[in-house]
Amino acid sequence: MTKISKEDRIVLIIFAICGLIPPVAIIARHFYELDPLNWLKIDWGRTGLGYISLTLATLTCLFNFYVSIYVPWEYERKHGSMKDFAHTSGLPILGSIFVLGAGALLPSSIYIGIFLLFLYVFDGNGLPYFFVCIIRDGL
């Protein structure tokens, strides 16, 4: 294993902290009924914005899963190797932002919380997948 530079450690710590913000907000809102946006005093349109964010999060995360995980798997299955595979890019980090927005805006519900955590983990271009790639491939 190669030695990681000080700057790379700092960047990984910053990414790890940013990667923990959405699940912490979702768990606080939907499992412990703590409102992370209570200080904003939003009474109008909060639920509507939450459902728009939920729809965008679902579509973005499904698209990212398709282009980042399913397409390479299908290509390797058909061709036997990844030679000549042209990587397709999804929408990086955007799904995580929509998941965070939906998690903070929607009313407390354990089912919505579980669904949002599922979306966050299986987003093919989100922060959890970034850490999986770092662990798998190294820096």
Task: Enter the DSSP assignment of 67.
Answer: I
58 pLDDT above the threshold of 90: yes
Q: Classify residue 14: in a domain, yes or no.
A: yes
Task: Name every residue whose Cβ is closer than 8 Å to that of residue 94 and which is 6 or more positions away in sequence.
Answer: 60, 125
Encoded tokens for 108? 């407390």
Mean local confidence (pLDDT), 38-56: 86
CA 132 to chain CA mean position, Å: 12
Is 62 part of any domain? Answer: yes
Amino acid at 17: I
Q: What is the pLDDT of residues 5-39, one digit of tens each?
A: 888 889 888 988 988 999 999 999 999 998 877 77
Domain annotation covers residue 113 = yes
Total count of domains within the chain: 1
Crossing angle, helix 110-121 and helix 6-30, to 10 degrees? Answer: 160
Neighbours of 78 (CB within 10 A): 7
pLDDT at 89 over 80: no
The whole domain housing 48 covers 6-137
- Does 81 map to a domain? yes
Give the pLDDT of residue 135: 77
pTM: 0.84
Query: Which letter, b or e, does each residue of 3-15 get, where b requires 16 or more Cβ atoms within 10 Å of its Cβ?
Result: eeeeeeeeeeeee
